[in-house]
Amino acid sequence: MNKEVVKLGEKKEIKMLMGTILMNKKQFKEAIDCFTEIVNQRPVLENVKVKLSFCLEQYGNYFHQKKQYSEAIKCYQEAVKYDRPRNSLLNSQGLAYQNINNL
């Protein structure tokens, strides 16, 4: 096997571990950066996309709590691109739109 391919695989694994640790520490912005770097490489692993979607949703929730509804909506819309829409995600997105309309 080509040494460059092995190194690339090892780098993905390290980024995946870093992203997972950051996600568990609720450092979602940093975790998003790790997972996005992996997703931008080929081939893309489905579990990476699911974790990226989860982190984007949580980051959106952070903005929602700060009443930064436009930023929250951007995160929720991005989250849907990487995983099937979950009820919690769609509910949060709907509430953010509702809150923008009430401003």
As a whole number of angstroms, the distance between CA 98 and CA 101 comes to 5
Q: What is the pLDDT of residue 37?
A: 87
What pTM does this model have?
A: 0.79
pLDDT of 78 reads 92
3-state secondary structure of 82: helix
Q: Domain 3-101 belongs to what architecture?
A: Alpha Horseshoe (1.25)
| Domain spans of the chain, in order of start | 3-101
Kindly report the three-state secondary structure assignment for every residue of 13-72: HHHHHHHHHHHHCCCHHHHHHHHHHHHCCCCCCHHHHHHHHHHHHHHHHHHHHCCCHHHH
Question: Is the Cβ–Cβ distance between 41 and 8 less than 8 Å?
Answer: yes
pLDDT tens track, the chain, 103 positions: 444 434 546 788 888 899 999 999 999 999 999 989 888 876 777 888 889 999 999 999 999 999 999 999 999 999 999 888 889 889 999 999 999 887 6
